[in-house]
Amino acid sequence: MKKLTVTVIIANLLLLSAGCASSDKPALTADGAGSFLNQYPTRDRVDYVLNCVAKHGGLNYVNQYACGCKIDKIAEKLPFKAYEEAVTFGFMGKTAGESGAAFRDPEQAKSLKKRIKEAEDDAETSCFVK
């Protein structure tokens, strides 16, 4: 029964995020300004939400909603390319020793780490993620 519930929730996440498919051009908002929101591929949004839900106590409606909100807020602050680079630098920077230094030490890595941290902190405040 629990497996069925998880499957249904994941299917709902995929259906809800289907309208968020990536695009080469930013979507235009009502004021004509570009938005980064629709540049994020559905796969990356779902992956983020599932990881976020797992970090915050498991799958339930509150966590699912808050984590979905969080990736939307991050997408408002960072273009997908910057998000993807920050995630890659963060993941590869965990490599121990000299091998990971190429991902930890460059100024670009530090700048991206700072940008994604600021976006995530703002998102957690806005979305009430605990």
Q: What is the pLDDT along the chain (130 residues), one digit of tens a residue?
A: 555 454 445 544 444 444 444 444 444 444 444 555 578 999 999 999 999 999 989 989 899 999 999 999 999 999 999 999 999 888 887 788 887 877 777 788 889 889 999 999 999 999 886 6
Half-sphere exposure for 69 (CA within 13 Å, toward CB) = 16
Residue 10: per-residue pLDDT: 55
What pLDDT does residue 89 have? 84
Structural domain spans, the chain: 2-127
pLDDT given at position 105:
76
Our CA dihedral for 10, 11, 15, 21, rounded to 10 degrees, sits at 60
Contact 76, 34 (CB under 8 A): no
Q: How far is CA 63 from CA 13, 16, 124, 128, in A?
A: 12, 15, 12, 10
